[in-house]
């Protein structure tokens, strides 16, 4: 057991998968390294072995994510759920049912996720657009799906985590405003520093000390995928507490910045309370 941090330590984007990955052992690793709070993000439907043909078919993925969260909470960790539809689903779904139906199914999946937020089971939506090159009609459909997520978020008063192309996503603040949602409620997962959205930076990101000094609001994430078939993918479940410890010990971030990363920004963005148990 490492010495505890003076504040909560929050991973803004992590997956835990007891079927295809290390599951609760990964959550325990996070905890042993000093982690206290995590935003657990739904994995794509194919991780659950489902091929949705209607929005309700995402129910299995969401229910399983809910039950994983319940198990992780038993370890003493605080878990906030981010439910939604992975933007890369459009490519797989369109290959089977065509682009127009894929769009409807994905919007329906977001509607279903919204129901869990209304019930207080989840705190934010996950959406975005493909991070890889796609034909213009697929990009247009993806932007309409993202627009739908932004409208739902405004109705629910919740945040949206987006997974999108590398780079700033400079057009997304205007999309959010058009939906009636403030851009401060839109989090860019795997962010690059120039984004106008709320950046969720990978824990090892070199911009973290400079962001801290500049007074910017941002969060840290592992993007741990918990897939045994891809053990080296991104970084491990301990990465947020580990890099936080390293930055703190090296004097690269102050306790005030620590608080801003792990408490203030996620509390304000997601409207949740983050404090030590
Ligand atoms: Zn992820």
Tokens representing residue 81 in the block: 């759920």
State pLDDT tens for residues 34-88.
999 999 999 999 999 999 999 999 999 999 999 999 999 999 999 999 999 999 9
**Distance from residue 249's CA to the centre of ligand 1 (Å):** 28
**Distance from residue 225's CA to the centre of ligand 1 (Å):** 6
**Distance from residue 13's CA to the centre of ligand 1 (Å):** 6
Biggest distance spanned by C-alpha atoms of the chain: 54
**Distance from residue 100's CA to the centre of ligand 1 (Å):** 25
**pLDDT for 258 beyond 90:** yes
State pLDDT tens for residues 107-119.
999 999 999 999 9
**pLDDT for 19 beyond 60:** yes
Measured over the CA atoms of residue 54, residue 57, residue 59 and residue 64, the dihedral's sign is negative
Q: State the DSSP string of 144-202.
A: HHHHHHHHHHHHHT-EEEEE--SS--TTHHHHHHHTT--GGGEEETT--TT-SSEEEEE
Give the closest residue to 115 by CA, choosing from 136, 84, 140.
84
Predicted confidence at residue 162, as pLDDT, reads: 98
Q: Say which residues have a Cβ less than 8 Å from residue 166's Cβ, sequence separation at least 6.
A: 131, 190, 192
**Distance from residue 246's CA to the centre of ligand 1 (Å):** 23
**Distance from residue 54's CA to the centre of ligand 1 (Å):** 23
**Distance from residue 203's CA to the centre of ligand 1 (Å):** 13
**How large is the average pLDDT for residues 124-150?**
98
Please give the mean pLDDT across all residues of the chain. 95
Residues within 5 A (CB) of ion ligand 1: 223
Q: Say which residues have a Cβ less than 8 Å from residue 195's Cβ, sequence separation at least 6.
A: 167, 168, 169, 188
**Distance from residue 253's CA to the centre of ligand 1 (Å):** 25
**Distance from residue 80's CA to the centre of ligand 1 (Å):** 14
CA-atom Rg of the chain in angstroms: 18
Is the Cβ–Cβ distance between 113 and 63 less than 8 Å?
no
Predicted confidence at residue 228, as pLDDT, reads: 87
CA separation (Å) from 257 to 156, 197, 231, 267, 274? 30, 19, 31, 14, 15
**Distance from residue 46's CA to the centre of ligand 1 (Å):** 14
**Distance from residue 15's CA to the centre of ligand 1 (Å):** 6
**pLDDT for 230 beyond 90:** no
Secondary structure (3-state) at 46: helix
Secondary structure (3-state) at 71: helix
**Distance from residue 240's CA to the centre of ligand 1 (Å):** 14
**Distance from residue 177's CA to the centre of ligand 1 (Å):** 25
Predicted confidence at residue 138, as pLDDT, reads: 98
Half-sphere exposure of 135 (CA within 13 A, CB side): 6
**How large is the average pLDDT for residues 125-136?**
97
Tokens representing residue 105 in the block: 């199914």
**Distance from residue 42's CA to the centre of ligand 1 (Å):** 8
Q: Centre a 10 Å sphere on the Cβ of residue 229 and count the other Cβ atoms it contains.
A: 8
Predicted confidence at residue 235, as pLDDT, reads: 78
**Distance from residue 224's CA to the centre of ligand 1 (Å):** 7
**pLDDT for 1 beyond 60:** no
Half-sphere exposure of 61 (CA within 13 A, CB side): 27
**Distance from residue 23's CA to the centre of ligand 1 (Å):** 15
Residue with token string 């993202």:
146
Give the closest residue to 139 by CA, choosing from 128, 152, 155.
128
Q: Say which residues have a Cβ less than 8 Å from residue 251's Cβ, sequence separation at least 6.
A: none
**Distance from residue 160's CA to the centre of ligand 1 (Å):** 14
CA–CA distance, 166 with 259 (Å, rounded to integer): 27
State pLDDT tens for residues 21-41.
999 999 999 999 999 999 999
**Distance from residue 268's CA to the centre of ligand 1 (Å):** 21
Q: What percent of the chain has pLDDT over 90?
A: 94
Please report which confidence band the pLDDT of residue 2 belongs to, taking 50, 70 and 90 as the band edges.
Answer: low
**Distance from residue 128's CA to the centre of ligand 1 (Å):** 12
């Amino acid at each position: 057991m490492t010495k505890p941090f003076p504040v909560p330590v929050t991973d803004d984007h992590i997956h835990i998968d007891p079927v295809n990955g290390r599951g609760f052992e990964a959550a325990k690793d996070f905890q042993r390294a000093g982690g206290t709070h995590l935003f657990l993000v739904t994995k794509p439907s194919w991780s659950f072995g489902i091929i949705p043909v209607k929005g309700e078919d995402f129910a299995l993925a969401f229910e399983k994510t809910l039950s994983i969260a319940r198990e992780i909470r038993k370890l003493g960790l605080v878990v906030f759920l981010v439910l939604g539809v992975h933007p890369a689903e459009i490519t797989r779904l369109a290959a089977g049912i065509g682009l127009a139906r894929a769009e409807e199914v994905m919007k329906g999946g977001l509607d279903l996720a919204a129901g869990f937020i209304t019930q207080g089971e989840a705190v934010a939506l996950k959406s975005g657009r493909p991070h890889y090159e796609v034909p213009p009609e697929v990009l247009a459909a993806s932007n309409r799906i993202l627009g739908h997520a932004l409208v739902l978020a405004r109705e629910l008063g919740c945040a949206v985590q987006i997974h999108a192309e590398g780079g700033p996503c400079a057009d997304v603040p205007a999309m959010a405003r058009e939906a009636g949602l403030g851009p401060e409620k839109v989090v860019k997962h795997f962010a690059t520093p120039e984004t106008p959205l709320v950046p969720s930076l990978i824990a090892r990101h070199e911009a973290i000390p400079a962001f801290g000094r500049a007074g910017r609001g941002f969060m840290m994430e592992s993007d741990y995928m918990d897939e045994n078939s891809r053990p080296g993918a991104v970084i491990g479940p301990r990465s947020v507490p580990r890099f936080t410890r390293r930055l703190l010990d090296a004097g690269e971030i102050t306790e005030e910045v620590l608080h801003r990363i792990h408490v203030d920004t996620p509390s304000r963005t997601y409207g949740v309370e983050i404090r030590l148990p």
